[in-house]
Amino acid sequence: MSIGRLSGLPTAAVFYALSPGEKIEVDISPAQVVKEGDKLVVLEAMKMLTTVCATADRTVKEVHVRKGDQIDSDDLLIRLE
C-alpha cells in the first residue's frame, strides 16, 4: 500500500498524501541532504504505518507537515530539489 505519491521532474520531487491519516514521525528538515532510500516521514492511516523514502539523492527544500498533523488526500508533504 502506498500512501505517498511522487510527482516531479528529474531535478525536483514533490510528495503528496494519497489518503487521509496522521503524520507521526519526521526525519528531515529544510536544506538537509538525503540519499536514495532515506526515510523522510512516517504516516499512519487506518492503523497502518507507511514510510515515505527518498527516491533519489536530493536536498530537502520544504517540509509542509509536522509530527501529529492530520493529513488529507493530496496534501503536500515534502518538496525536494
Q: Which domain holds residue 21?
A: 4-80
Total tally of structural domains belonging to the chain: 1
pTM of the model: 0.75
* Terminal-to-terminal C-alpha distance of the chain: 25
Residue 20 CA, distance from chain mean position: 14
Read off the pLDDT band of 16 (50, 70, 90).
confident
pLDDT tens, 46-73?
888 888 888 889 999 999 988 888 888 8
Output the CA–CA distances (angstroms, integers) from residue 58 to 6, 36, 53, 76, in the order listed: 13, 8, 11, 17
| Contact between 25 and 40 (Cβ < 8 Å) | no
Helix (H, G, I), strand (E, B) or coil at 17: strand
What is the model's pLDDT at position 9?
43
Read off the pLDDT band of 2 (50, 70, 90).
very low
Residue 29: which CATH number? Answer: 2.40.50.100
What is the average pLDDT across 14-42? 85
Strand arrangement, sheet containing 58-63: 4-7, 13-17, 76-80, 58-63, 33-34
